[in-house]
Chain A
Amino acid sequence: MNLLKVDKLVTRLRNGAAIVDGISFEISAGETFALLGESGCGKSMTALSLMRLLPDGVANAGGAVQLDGAALFDLPEHDMREVRGGKMAMIFQEPGLSLNPVMSVGAQIAEVLALHHDLGDAVANARCVELLDQVGIPDAARRVHEYPFQLSGGMKQRVMIAMALAGSPTLLIADEPTTALDVTIQAQVLRLLRDTQDKLGMAMLLITHDLGVVAENAHRVGVMYAGQIVEQATREQLFAKPLHPYTQKLFAALPDARRSGQPLSAIPGSVPPLGSIPQGCRFAPRCDKAWSLCREQTPDWTMVEGRGVRCHLYQDTGYRIRDTDARSPLPLAGEGLGERGDFLNPVSRIPNPLLQVSDLQVHFPIRKGLLQHVVGQVKAVDGVSLAIPQGRTLALVGESGCGKTTLAKALLRLLPATAGSVQFDGKELIGTGAARSSMQMVFQDPYASLNPKMRVAEILEEGMSALRIGADSAARQAQIDGLLDKVGLARDSKWRYPHEFSGGQRQRIAIARALAVSPQLLICDEPTSALDVSVQAQILNLLKELQQELELSYLFITHNLAVVEYLAHEVCVMYLGRIV
């Protein structure tokens, strides 16, 4: 007996564009079904449709959902409220934003208890403590009275889970429950979800873009692309042999150590914008196996060996995979850091480094008291030493808040260093404005790193004119054309504004901007973390090519171990302002 049955669910924007276009799946009790897809594919909207909590401007436009035999879309709003938080609970992506900042966590959980279990204050309080205890919050009796701002990100997500569990749901919807968390915390939260599910036997709809999360948690998987499920299979089936070309590409785009020598197989292009869904297969424009039929006719849902796929490759003629071993299957559970020969202590070994940082400190004063005297220091970067040779990549790994970005800014002298020395090519940089052109940075957020009011050409030219590179504007324009070629953008894009580009394209522009002044070292601060997997692969490939072509050195700041394994020659791990 299936607990949840979703049948041809359609969700539309007010202007008629379908965000979710005919999705069907089932989940039985105790099972985890994962909806896997890149951002904008409609997976979150699917979840919100089930809860009937779609934001303004988006409306349910068809299909049926049955939970435990009750047709959710036919329930009056009053009855639906009983289901929400009761039979069906949901946790969200951003625990920091999803909790009410001015209510204590206890009060927020008690609200659910009062609503769905009619518990009085005293009983509710005891149950709150019990729930917090259950989700692994230490000292729960005290934490109950605390406010969200007093808890860390992982704790907040645990509170969210406790809140969801408070109504004893039979179905838990988890919308990217770990995306906003640090890697180590991610694993803990996922384990908590798995354990809780085992204990309580509830069904779980797990929404994620992370193949690793799917590998560890899901029983069955639905792969979503542009509002449709393109493939549905058990976890084992999917990871053993992905059928749909999109799924195959998704696997192939994942970086890992074993393929660090070869380019990633990136998916060209980007996810089609909503409302511009082309005729035929939605993936056809980016698919290298597409033929004319794919562009004319939308493929039907086809069952192949007990699993479903939406692709012309498998229709009529039956099982017909053109090249089956695009790549070897991915191991089910994520591996740890590979033991590789050159993963050695980066400081000691290198004789003639391009960049030599020794004992760099960046402190921020803490002011307190009547006269705001300095009572202490936040040691954001506390005695870091590292070295990068020419043409190599040093990865700097660490959790958020460990001082990675501060270090990068201090190297670029955007922040004053408290102590220590930074030598570039043998010259001391601290306290000078020298060598600006030889070190440049690529930032994390492609939306915030380009001035929306400037054309691409102006963005690229700014650094050149500030550092007086290029004889005149004609020479610079020629150089800009060359840069755009190098990063794989059309030359005429220089007359356009950043908002006309996708995230991946913007990141290419940002790289071109950094390269415009011919630096020898690029500091990349999480350059791919805001991007989808398929686009991430494109950018990583580009960085790798540029390194080979221009003999660039990279300081690569990231928290993604897979990227490190793929790209890095040396690795530093940073913890609380120190290299460990």
Chain B
Amino acid sequence: MLDSRLRGNDEGGCLMSFMPVVLWSDALVFLLLAAGIAAAWYVRRREHLLLPWQRVAHNSVAMASLLVLSLFLAVGLLDTLHFRMALPQANGGEKVYSSEVLSVFDKLVGPLRTHTEKTYSEPFALTLYAKESMTDAQGNVARDYPRLQYGGAHLSDASQRVEDIWKRALAGGGLGLLVGLLSFYLTHRKLHCASGCDRAVSIATLILTTLIGAIANLAAVYHVLGTDKVGQDVLYLSLKSIRTGLIIGTVTTLVTLPLALFLGVAAGYFRGWVDDVIQYVYTVLSSIPSVLLIAAAVLMMQVTIDTHPQWFDTAASRADLRLVFLCLILGMTSWTGLCRLLRGETLKLREMEYIQAAQSFGVSSLRILTRHIMPNVMHIILIALVMDFSALVLAEAVLSYVGVGVDPSMISFGTMINAARLEMGREPMVWWALAAAFGFMLVLVLAANLFADAVRDAFDPRLNRTESKA
């Protein structure tokens, strides 16, 4: 099927054989990316803003984590470029597009997506997990573990398996290592990282490229992490989950950031009734236990989505809108904390003498807020942003388990765990999907936590007091 599509592409020549699709969450991701690049460009030219980032850059753990994170980010971004393939049959000159929304990432890892087995199979297995009745060439019916359609299909004999795995792992790993070394050789002269982190980051890079090489080589012919109930490759599912996790982790904070920033700073600066109203709003919101508020909101959203099926042209856009709403709802429950922090900091800042100096010039309140207060609370926002990220990734899994998370059709760590959990009782246990989901989540969250720590250390003025005075 994949081949025929590719051929269609070739024959079509200049004709568009696919239609780019921008889902809501994609748009938000692009927006975020643009904002991130703009911010980086802005910071680059300002030495005092660059300074804390240089401190982060000197931290080898942070840089190694960043490397892992950017790898996840790359997968997530590739998975964000969505499109719909044109179907081969044209409908009266007009192109008909498949209702299936694919991403560039799906294309890149083609076989992983399309090589689905019948049901469960263990990692690196050659056979299915359950016995089936099979009819052999002689017409005898026997119950045995059937061979997988794709996993290890190139092997004629099961006894070659271990040797083949090692060979492929070594070959792939070696190639990965080579690519890693080569990239070092090419970039080393241009990039000179701080002396301390240089080595740690190099080692981390080499380990990662080796690992990726080995896995890529193996994944082509095996199900490295096994398959799930409907025979989908677990590695593919895990990689697809990354985008969901990343979106929950970043979009959530960012959609509500303007709200928290504006309200928090306004409450702290203006005091009086403005403060009273804003405080009232966030006390009301934060007094409802967040899981319950999320549950209630998600339940209601579900009703709305279910009663308006006409809004969505594909299943993906439906699941996607649910994801965006989930982000909004999560954001609604979490902005209060940041708002309170910002209000407190603004209360402190408004007593600073430079604010009073500005006031004595008659500088307008809006200008004081944007020129004096906001730049001086940015570190709090940044710290909150990176600290919240991992908590949100973890929360997604829990919420999906509770049934108020992402759409069940959307691939995420939560839905993976939820599906795998039901099979806990099986003998022998189906452990790989669970392990894969937890493992990927651990790596992502751990890297995020380590990076967040470094960012906090670098930006928190209380921790850098001595340095700033010297």
User: Chain A: residues with CB nearer than 8 A to chain B?
Assistant: 57, 273-274, 409, 412-414, 433, 436-437, 439-441, 443-445, 447-454, 459, 462-463, 466-467, 497, 499, 510, 513-514, 517
Residue of A nearest to B360 (CB): A412
| B375/A453 in contact, CB under 8 A | yes
CA distance A274 to B354 in the complex (A): 28
| A453/B376 in contact, CB under 8 A | yes
CA distance A73 to B466 in the complex (A): 27
CA distance A510 to B360 in the complex (A): 13
Chain A residues with CB below 8 A from B353, complex form: 443-445, 448-449
B70 at the A interface (CB under 8 A): no
B47 at the A interface (CB under 8 A): yes
| B357/A517 in contact, CB under 8 A | no
Residue of A nearest to B356 (CB): A414
CA distance A437 to B362 in the complex (A): 9
CA distance A499 to B376 in the complex (A): 14
CA distance A439 to B356 in the complex (A): 13
| B48/A497 in contact, CB under 8 A | yes
Which one of B356, B466, B468, B470 has the highest number of Cβ atoms from chain A below 10 Å of its Cβ?
B356
CA distance A209 to B375 in the complex (A): 36
Partner of A440, one of B360, B363, B376, B468: B360
| A441/B360 in contact, CB under 8 A | yes
Residue of A nearest to B51 (CB): A499
Partner of B354, one of A273, A439, A451, A497: A451
Q: Known interface pairs A454-B371, A466-B362, A467-B362. Does A441 touch B48 (Cβ–Cβ under 8 Å)?
A: no
B352 at the A interface (CB under 8 A): yes
B364 at the A interface (CB under 8 A): yes
Residue of B nearest to A503 (CB): B469
Residue of A nearest to B468 (CB): A499
Residue of A nearest to B469 (CB): A447
Knowing that A448-B354, A499-B48 touch, tell me 17 more A-B residue pairs with CB under 8 angstroms.
A57-B466, A273-B470, A409-B356, A436-B362, A437-B361, A439-B360, A443-B356, A443-B357, A448-B352, A449-B357, A450-B354, A451-B376, A462-B371, A463-B363, A466-B362, A467-B362, A497-B47
B359 at the A interface (CB under 8 A): yes
**B350-384: contact bitstring with A at CB < 8 Å (1 yes, 0 no)?**
00111011111111100100011001100000000
| A462/B358 in contact, CB under 8 A | yes
Chain B residues with CB below 8 A from A513, complex form: 357
| B361/A436 in contact, CB under 8 A | yes
How many residues in B have their beta carbons less than 8 Å from beta carbons of A?
24
Minimum CB–CB distance from B196 to chain A (whole Å) comes to 14
Residue of B nearest to A514 (CB): B357
CA distance A273 to B359 in the complex (A): 34
Partner of B361, one of A450, A451, A466: A466
Chain A residues with CB below 8 A from B354, complex form: 448-451, 459
Residue of A nearest to B351 (CB): A448
Partner of A433, one of B352, B362, B372, B468: B362
Minimum CB–CB distance from B117 to chain A (whole Å) comes to 58
- In the complex, the 7 A-B pairs of residues with the closest C-beta atoms, listed nearest first: A449-B353, A463-B361, A443-B353, A453-B375, A466-B363, A436-B362, A451-B354
Partner of A441, one of B47, B357, B367, B469: B357
Residue of B nearest to A513 (CB): B357
Minimum CB–CB distance from A439 to chain B (whole Å) comes to 8
Partner of A453, one of B48, B359, B362: B48
Minimum CB–CB distance from A236 to chain B (whole Å) comes to 37
Chain B residues with CB below 8 A from A514, complex form: 357
Chain B residues with CB below 8 A from A499, complex form: 48, 468
CA distance A309 to B357 in the complex (A): 45
CA distance A514 to B353 in the complex (A): 13
Minimum CB–CB distance from B346 to chain A (whole Å) comes to 14
Chain A residues with CB below 8 A from B47, complex form: 497
Q: Known interface pairs A444-B353, A448-B353. Does A462 touch B360 (Cβ–Cβ under 8 Å)?
A: no
Partner of B357, one of A439, A453, A510: A510
| A452/B361 in contact, CB under 8 A | no
Chain B residues with CB below 8 A from A450, complex form: 354
**B224-253: contact bitstring with A at CB < 8 Å (1 yes, 0 no)?**
000000000000000000000000000000
Chain B residues with CB below 8 A from A447, complex form: 469
CA distance A448 to B372 in the complex (A): 12
Minimum CB–CB distance from A316 to chain B (whole Å) comes to 37
CA distance A463 to B359 in the complex (A): 9
CA distance A518 to B113 in the complex (A): 73
CA distance A440 to B356 in the complex (A): 10
| A467/B372 in contact, CB under 8 A | no
| B352/A466 in contact, CB under 8 A | no
Minimum CB–CB distance from B267 to chain A (whole Å) comes to 19
Chain B residues with CB below 8 A from A449, complex form: 352-354, 357
Minimum CB–CB distance from B53 to chain A (whole Å) comes to 15
Residue of A nearest to B372 (CB): A451
| B364/A466 in contact, CB under 8 A | yes
- 9 A-B residue pairs with Cβ-Cβ distance under 8 Å, sorted by A, are A412-B360, A414-B356, A437-B361, A439-B360, A440-B361, A447-B469, A451-B376, A466-B364, A513-B357
CA distance A499 to B372 in the complex (A): 16
| B352/A436 in contact, CB under 8 A | no
CA distance A409 to B356 in the complex (A): 9
CA distance A447 to B469 in the complex (A): 9
| A414/B359 in contact, CB under 8 A | yes
| A467/B361 in contact, CB under 8 A | yes
Minimum CB–CB distance from B379 to chain A (whole Å) comes to 10
Chain B residues with CB below 8 A from A466, complex form: 358, 361-364, 367
Chain B residues with CB below 8 A from A273, complex form: 470
Chain B residues with CB below 8 A from A409, complex form: 356
CA distance A505 to B336 in the complex (A): 41
| B48/A462 in contact, CB under 8 A | no
CA distance A447 to B364 in the complex (A): 23
Residues of B204-234 whose CB lies within 8 A of A: none
Residue of B nearest to A497 (CB): B48
Minimum CB–CB distance from A372 to chain B (whole Å) comes to 12
| A436/B357 in contact, CB under 8 A | no
Which one of A443, A445, A459, A462 has the highest number of Cβ atoms from chain B below 10 Å of its Cβ?
A462
CA distance A133 to B363 in the complex (A): 54
| A452/B470 in contact, CB under 8 A | no
CA distance A409 to B355 in the complex (A): 12
| A517/B468 in contact, CB under 8 A | no
CA distance A443 to B376 in the complex (A): 19
Chain B residues with CB below 8 A from A459, complex form: 354
CA distance A450 to B470 in the complex (A): 17
| B352/A462 in contact, CB under 8 A | no
| A517/B361 in contact, CB under 8 A | yes
CA distance A510 to B376 in the complex (A): 19
Minimum CB–CB distance from A532 to chain B (whole Å) comes to 14
Chain B residues with CB below 8 A from A412, complex form: 356, 359-360
Q: Known interface pairs A409-B356, A445-B353, A466-B364. Does A452 touch B48 (Cβ–Cβ under 8 Å)?
A: yes
CA distance A433 to B364 in the complex (A): 12
CA distance A446 to B369 in the complex (A): 21
CA distance A459 to B371 in the complex (A): 10
CA distance A445 to B355 in the complex (A): 13
Minimum CB–CB distance from B351 to chain A (whole Å) comes to 9
CA distance A463 to B360 in the complex (A): 9
Chain A residues with CB below 8 A from B357, complex form: 441, 443, 449, 463, 510, 513-514
Residue of A nearest to B364 (CB): A466
Residue of A nearest to B355 (CB): A451
Chain B residues with CB below 8 A from A445, complex form: 353
CA distance A451 to B355 in the complex (A): 8
Chain A residues with CB below 8 A from B364, complex form: 466
Minimum CB–CB distance from B139 to chain A (whole Å) comes to 81
Chain B residues with CB below 8 A from A436, complex form: 360-362
Chain B residues with CB below 8 A from A413, complex form: 360
Residue of A nearest to B363 (CB): A466
Chain B residues with CB below 8 A from A452, complex form: 48, 376
| B356/A441 in contact, CB under 8 A | yes
Chain B residues with CB below 8 A from A451, complex form: 354, 371-372, 375-376
Chain A residues with CB below 8 A from B469, complex form: 447
CA distance A453 to B377 in the complex (A): 11
CA distance A459 to B361 in the complex (A): 11
